[in-house]
Amino acid sequence: MKSFRTTFSFKPCDKGIQHSSKIITIGSCFSEVIGARLLDSKFNVLVNPYGTTFNPASIFNLLITSFTGKPLAPDLYLNRHDHFFHYQLHSSFSATSIEALEKKIEDTRFKVNEQLESATHLFITLGTAFVYRLLENGSIVANCHKQPQKYFSKSLLGLSEMMEGFNAFYQNILLINPGIQVVLTVSPVRHIKDGISQNQLSKSLLNVLCHQLVATYPEVYYFPAYEIMMDDLRDYRFYKDDMIHPSLMAEEYIWEQFQTAFFDEDTKDLVQHVDQIQRNLNHRPFNPQSQAHYKFLLKLQELISLMPENLDFSLEKQSIEEQLRLF
């Protein structure tokens, strides 16, 4: 009997990832999941610096403004409960004045641009092709910031519109970093608030967009996170209780497939050692003052000392030293 799964293979990325790589992730919450995994494994990665951004138009616009220095639209600031937000950014960007918010945006943009100029890999995760536009000026917003629905109109981005947005971004990024590896992926998170059929339509458009871009730019790579979730795992036991987000088990599996796509054997081996150290650090001893735990901490210190010097274990070392001082 065949197993109750449909596995499939895909071509690994020609430009793999090592711990010497410099990475940035941007887009939907799946970018944060993969970015966090890379960060935990001690890679040099800037994780979703602009916060969760779902639609391609907003993602490409944020990337373009990062390296062109063009300010975000001045008429898209809003004041809600004595805090200022910007419609082109996630709600994590807020401040008690426009000036303070502008400073926060500028600091983030500087950090993003600095990473983009020397990055080896840029991961873009697209969440939905649906966008909301402000009725007063037609601007696409990245976040509605809990404003009344009557302020917005909802529409589906066209394929040509999304292609143009990517082309404008890609031609610009190649001018400042021609060697960067751009990786596209469609988020496996289901946007069922749009409706089941509408979500399928949206994801289909994003899938077609990615494959057309790979056909146009062979150096762009597509990682099939959405296909892994929908066709390989394909079962509600791989979702969280909300039936929308992948479960921890699904994230683990997609992370394994990610490693197959981007890591060589030496990198995989190093990641396993790093992960083991992290698991040991998260271990809660039955008796923190026992001689056995003391020896455990000393062994952990020894393991960290054997790690490559370019991996930053400063926080872990500090945690161990603090525990050892209690003996």
What are the tens digits of pLDDT across the range 236-291?
788 888 888 888 898 999 999 999 999 999 999 999 999 999 988 887 877 878 88
Model pTM?
0.93
| Each residue's pLDDT tens digit, 149-171 | 999 999 999 999 999 999 999 99
Given the structure tokens 């089941």, which residue do they identify?
196
Is residue 202 domain-shared with residue 68, that is, in the same domain? yes
| pLDDT tops 60 at residue 2 | no
Of 45, 2, 43, 40, residue with least CA distance to 23 = 45
Is residue 237 domain-shared with residue 269, that is, in the same domain? no
Q: List Cβ neighbours of 315 (8 Å cut-off, separation of 6 or more).
A: none
φ/ψ (deg, to 5) at 49:
-60, -25
Helices (H) and strands (E) in the chain, counts: 10, 10
Last residue of a domain, one of 263, 279, 307: 263
Total domains in the fold of the chain:
2
Q: Please report the pLDDT score of residue 71 as a whole number.
A: 85
Measured distance CA(155)–CA(81) in Å, rounded:
28
Is residue 33 domain-shared with residue 144, that is, in the same domain? yes
- Pick left, alpha or beta for residue 146 (phi over 0 → left; psi -120 to 50 → alpha; otherwise beta): left
Is residue 277 domain-shared with residue 313, that is, in the same domain? yes
| pLDDT tops 70 at residue 67 | yes
Answer whether residue 5 is part of any domain: no
Q: What is the mean pLDDT of the chain?
A: 92
Last residue of a domain, one of 263, 280, 296: 263
pLDDT confidence band for 3 (50 / 70 / 90): low
Is residue 65 domain-shared with residue 203, that is, in the same domain? yes
Two structure tokens written together for 123 = 């991961």
pLDDT confidence band for 4 (50 / 70 / 90): low
Going by DSSP bridges, is the β-strand pair 121-126/22-27 parallel, antiparallel, or unpaired? Answer: parallel
Answer whether residue 15 is part of any domain: no
Domain that holds residue 290: 264-327
| pLDDT tops 70 at residue 54 | yes
| Each residue's pLDDT tens digit, 82-130 | 999 999 999 999 999 999 999 999 999 999 999 999 999 999 999 999 9
Measured distance CA(182)–CA(176) in Å, rounded:
14
| pLDDT tops 70 at residue 1 | no
